[in-house]
Amino acid sequence: MTENILQFAAFESFVCPTFWHKLAELKIEHDRLSDAPKPISGHYTNHKAAGCLLEVDYSAYNSSAQPPKFSHNAVGTIYNKNTIEEFKELDKTSLLSAEGQALLADMTSARVLDNPSLLARFFVLSFADLKCHSYYYWFGFPCPLTHPLQLQSEAVRVKDLQNFAAVAEALRAVPSEAQNFFILYANEELESVEVRSLSAALTNIDNTEAEHYYYCFADPSEYEHPAWLMRNYVAFLLMQCPTLLGKTLKFLGLRYDQQMNVDNSLIWKVVQNDACDLTRIENVKFVGWEPNRNCKMGPRMVSMRDSMDPAKLAENSVNLNLKLMKWRLLPELNLEAIAQTKCLLFGAGTLGCAVARNLLSWGFKHITLLDSGKVGYSNPVRQNLYTHADAVMGNKMKSTTAAERLLEINPSAVAKGYVVQIPMPGHTIGEAMLEQTTNDLTLIEEQVHAHDVLFLLTDSRESRWLPTVLGAVHQKIVINAALGFDSYLVMRHGSTRECVGDQGNEIEGLKCIMGQKLGCYFCNDVTAPGNSLKDRTLDQQCTVTRPGVSNIAASYAVELLVALLQHPQRELAPAYYAQSSHKRQQVESTAAIPEGLLGILPHSIRGLLYNYENILPATEKFSQCIACSQPILASFRSEGHAFLLKAFETARYLEELTGIADFKSLHCEIIDFDDDEFDMSEGDENDSGPTTTNIDE
Amino acid sequence: MVDGTLSWTDFLSEAREFLHLSEQLGDGWTLCEKDGNEPNTFLSCKRKVRSKDNGTLSTLISVEYHVVFSVSYQVPMLFFQAHRSDGSLLDVDATWRAFMPEARERSDLFQMLTQMDHPVLFRPFMALHPCRTSDVLAQFGKKSENRILTFISVYGPHVQLNLQNAYGNAIKCK
Ligand SMILES: [Zn+2]
């Protein structure tokens, strides 16, 4: 029984992104709070049809828009609600009935005869969440519920008709704007084939002529079943010409193939035996809500953030370069680990700015900068997040300005800046400053807690002490960069995390130091004074550097972090150091260093621009280090701020604590340099006294 | 050895010739002209294709193809962008899954698919990188044929843009 019932291919809504773009634009600029229903138009094609689609795009809202080539107009209404609640709570049955009744009203009037596209009917219930770029929507294709149509025989292809040639010729001659619904009169006996409009053929229908009628329509279905819109066509015909009831009716679904032939158009012979009085509108039921993707009766939601939110667009583009790197060269690259790692930068000077920009390039999103300085006139040319205007204004703080710039560069970054001074050993805190210092300490500690990586990018050795201690106590990854006139040191501090798993491999000619045994900036300096690179250059007070040095060091610092994050052991990864002093053997053993995803992972990189050379020393933790040794960490853990204040009072305290007799006062041994030395705008304003220096390079 | 590059005027005249063929065949290509400057005229067409992304039922996506002149490489270049039935765009990953799930990661195809700013529209589009196009055109394109047609025939099938054979016949009859 069911085999003889004609089934229809349901319409599938197909929305072009521009439909949402235009809806958003109209809502914001024109409709605002009005949620009155608005006429829209859609279109469908019977030219190489795929699926059974009803499409809408930006032209839907333009009442005079023509459908695209090879497409036909569909008549619709959009009910765009102001809130998600109104969208949800609207009575769906009533809306469908109201739409269906409007359709029936068009059928009973002469309107459909004049404009048959009224039969291709749809409506959209929607809510546009413009803030989130989310669109909730539900399409309906209203149709009166009538008795099923009896299918008299299998569908027949037009090219199997005996008079195919004449039929095809007539079909092809129909002007495209009239192809949606028309009637083909094909009398084989009279060898007469002609095309008639609905109004010409159906007004005062001649029943003897009607036997030769093909009720033609542009059929957007690619399936064996005719498109949904034929249901309305049938309902309309029986309403318009009740005498057709019980008669065999031939429907021709016009379908063009790739070569623009009509050969595969289909003909269905159907009979409607049961009358259905559609004039008593209040009794008629309607169908037509589109099921959602899960084949349930319900609305759909689409997020258009990717194409409509400028911040998201930028984010996707940033990620794209990294994704391409992953695809092309490094399939194992873990971009997620990078995106989730939160970086805290001590210092927003030349190094801080350059490091921050390199972090953005790699797809790091969380960047926080700590600095107490203002942007000075000499800064912008070297510190690449500032401009001359920042210095002219005279009150722009580096840390907050840098964070603003990072957000301007990448709006999807999470960048913050705090104006804070980093207390230093040997820099006594006076009564007056005690409260401020305590506040600063609290803020710094909070920030250390909230981040995964600390970058030490300040302009003095002393200012690196506190972050070194905090990094060790809180088991953070610490990356340190320091500059000389034409030299630089970039290093990762040894980890204080518990070691698990792999102990590293012993390789001939190489010294292997596990990540938790590597030294920090301070142990290194004391334990490795005799280095061939004359690392004292870093310790002497340099006031100027070659400009490239900071960019090189900043790049190494970020690359070192990325390599570390990609290593399965992360900061516990061992470092290898070629022991031989013979150059040739050094080269040989260096070649044997185990490589991670991005190559080797050194402890430190010391380089000289003078001869364009780097060496990669690895050194062990010093048990009496004034920053990372057990006595220091234990004291901090038990005494907290009190311990720190004692250290700030006199560096001597640290020496006593760790037992280094010959520990030199940090105060008189500033290693780094400060290119603000020449910055007259700042020098005069520096009222913070001898207890602080600007956090800069 | 035939040189596989085209001048801007070559591109324009061959694009117009291609457009003419398409109109004869009812194939739906259009020529978009922003202004008379290089490279602000390009060929465009839309197709519905079935995503090759298996796992779910194959779904219909709408793809807009553009053949744009690459000023740096002096060859035609294929840009495209696909969206789903709800209007959402396919990102690079989704494009990859939809069009080339069978290609291996290090394959030439894999190397070719990229995203870049459309040189006329200044929006991000998927693109097939043009670095090898001139070699390919030199290999396939005989002087007498339309190089845009050759280009689309060679590169299009990678992204489900298949031209009817009738194009080949039409160009030979010309
Ligand atoms: Zn140490």
pLDDT at A343 over 90: yes
Interface test with A, best of B88, B92, B160 (most A CBs within 10 A): B88
Q: Mind listing the pLDDT tens digit for each residue in B3-16?
A: 788 899 999 999 99
Mean pLDDT, residues B52-75: 85
Say if strands B60-70 and A71-81 run parallel, antiparallel, or are unpaired: unpaired
pLDDT of amino acid A191? 83
- On the question of pLDDT at A339 being above 50, the answer is yes
Non-local (6+) Cβ contacts of A96 within 8 A are A140, A142, A286, A287, A288, A289
User: By the CB < 8 Å criterion, does B110 face chain A?
Assistant: yes
Concerning whether B173 is annotated as a catalytic residue, the answer is: no
Question: Each residue of A409-465: pLDDT tens digit?
Answer: 988 899 999 999 999 887 878 888 889 999 999 999 999 999 999 999 998 888 899
Contact call for A307 and B91, based on CB within 8 A: no
CATH 3.40.50.720 for domain A315-496+504-578+595-643: yes
Short-list A586, A454, A600, CA closest to A532: A586
Per CATH, domain A151-280 is 1.10.3720.10: no
Residue A571: pLDDT above 70? Answer: yes
Q: What dihedral do alpha carbons B2, B4, B9, B13 form, nearest 10°?
A: 80
Asked whether the beta carbons of residue B86 and residue A300 sit closer than 8 angstroms, the reply is yes
Cβ-based neighbour number of residue A84 at 10 Å: 13
Angle between helix axes A465-473 and A641-649 (nearest 10 degrees) is 160
Note the ipTM here. Answer: 0.90
**Residue A258, pLDDT score:** 84
The band of A685, judged by pLDDT with boundaries at 50, 70 and 90, is very low
Q: Is the pLDDT of residue A695 over 70?
A: no
Neighbours of ion ligand 1 (CB under 5 A): A 520, 522-523, 625, 627-628
Domain boundaries, chain B: 8-170
Q: Three-state DSSP class for A217? A: strand
What is the distance of C-alpha A45 from the center of its chain? 34
- What pLDDT score does A684 carry? 32
Q: Which of A110, A112, A140, A111 is nearest to A124 (CA)?
A: A140
pLDDT greater than 60 at residue A689: no
More confident residue, A259 or B150: B150
**Helix, strand or coil, per DSSP, at residue B9:** helix
A 108-147: CB under 8 A from B = 135
**What's the topology of domain A12-145?**
Cytidine Deaminase; domain 2 (3.40.140)
* CATH architecture for segment(s) B8-170: 2-Layer Sandwich (3.30)
What the block records as the tokens of A427 is: 């820099």
Cα of A338 to nearest chain B Cα, Å: 19
Peptide bond into A68 cis (omega under 30): no
Residue of A nearest to B49 (CA): A50
Q: Which among A241, A542, A625, A628 is annotated as catalytic?
A: A542
Taking the centre of ligand 1 as the mean of its atom positions, its distance from the CA of residue A626, in whole angstroms, is: 6
Quote the pLDDT of residue A586.
Answer: 67
What are the extents of the domains in chain A? 12-145, 151-280, 315-496+504-578+595-643
Q: Which of A267-281, A306-320, A657-671 has the lowest mean pLDDT?
A: A657-671
Q: What is the pLDDT of residue B141?
A: 60
pTM: predicted TM-score of the whole model, two decimal places: 0.72
> What is the phi/psi pair of residue A593, to 5°?
-60, 130
Instruction: State the pLDDT at residue A62.
Output: 92
pLDDT band at B55 (very low <50, low <70, confident <90, very high): low
The per-residue pLDDT for range A576-612, each reduced to its tens digit, is 887 766 666 666 666 777 787 888 899 999 999 989 9
B169 — contact with chain A (CB < 8 Å)?
A: no
**Residue A171: closest CA among A189, A153, A188, A159:** A159
Q: Residue A324: its chain B contacts at CB < 8 A?
A: 114
Confirm whether A12-145 and A151-280 share one CATH topology: yes
What pLDDT was estimated at residue A688? 33
Mean pLDDT of all residues belonging to chain A: 86
Question: Quick check: helix, strand or coil at residue A494?
Answer: coil
Question: Between these two residues, A51 and A509, which has the higher pLDDT value?
Answer: A51
